[in-house]
């Protein structure tokens, strides 16, 4: 019963993310048209913010699809979505000129920390560790057979 409810909730979330993604792509197309037809830089600013928002939703959709396939969420996918979101906020803040040096330094430190954690998550991935352990066990078995 509980797994059926979770499956329905995940299906609803996937549909919602797809709808938002389509809506964002329409917004990007509108911003491209505005950028082409006008000579102001506001269209380019809106276009770049919309594109970064689309990337955030793509990362979230990727996380949801991974969950649907494997019934788990990888830390690296969550970190990718977090990095995309923080970088989007940095971009928005730089364009709107609302961020001062302390805010930009704090966001840069956050990006650095997320990047380090993502790198560590890839280096020390349980899947990678399991493959290494299986390979080491196979090597030990082969050497034990060769010595007999």
Compute the C-alpha angle 116/90/99, nearest 5°.
125
Burial 30-55 (b: 16+ CB within 10 A, else e): ebbeebeeeeeeebebbbbbbbbbbb
pLDDT for res 136: 63
Report d(CA 33, CA 13) in Å as an integer: 30
What pTM did the predictor assign?
Answer: 0.59
- Give the count of beta carbons closer than 10 Å to the beta carbon of residue 60: 20
Looking up tokens 């917004």, which residue turns up?
27
pLDDT for res 137: 65
Report d(CA 137, CA 49) in Å as an integer: 50
- At 121, is the secondary structure helix, strand, or coil? helix
Domain that holds residue 73: 2-147
Report d(CA 78, CA 59) in Å as an integer: 8
Per-residue DSSP letter, 125: -
Per-run averaged pLDDT (10 residues), the chain, 148 residues: 77 81 81 76 72 78 74 79 84 76 85 90 72 62 62
* Closest to 31 in 3D by CA, of 21, 41, 18, 19: 41
pLDDT for res 36: 79
* Closest to 98 in 3D by CA, of 33, 62, 45, 21: 45
Domain count, the chain: 1
pLDDT for res 121: 84
């Amino acid at each position: 019963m509980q797994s059926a409810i979770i499956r329905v909730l995940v299906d609803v979330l996937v549909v919602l993310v797809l709808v938002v993604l389509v809506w964002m792509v329409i917004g990007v197309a509108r911003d491209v048209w505005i950028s082409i037809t006008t000579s102001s830089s506001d269209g380019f600013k809106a276009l770049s913010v919309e594109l970064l928002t689309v990337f955030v939703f793509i990362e979230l959709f990727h996380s949801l699809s991974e969950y649907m396939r494997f019934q788990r969420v990888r830390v690296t996918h969550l970190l990718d979505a977090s990095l995309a979101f923080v970088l989007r906020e940095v971009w928005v803040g730089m364009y709107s000129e609302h961020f001062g040096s302390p805010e930009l330094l704090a966001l840069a430190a956050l990006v650095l920390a997320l990047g380090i954690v993502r790198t560590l998550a890839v280096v020390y991935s349980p899947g990678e560790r399991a493959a290494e352990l299986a390979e080491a066990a196979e090597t030990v078995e082969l050497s034990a057979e060769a010595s007999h």
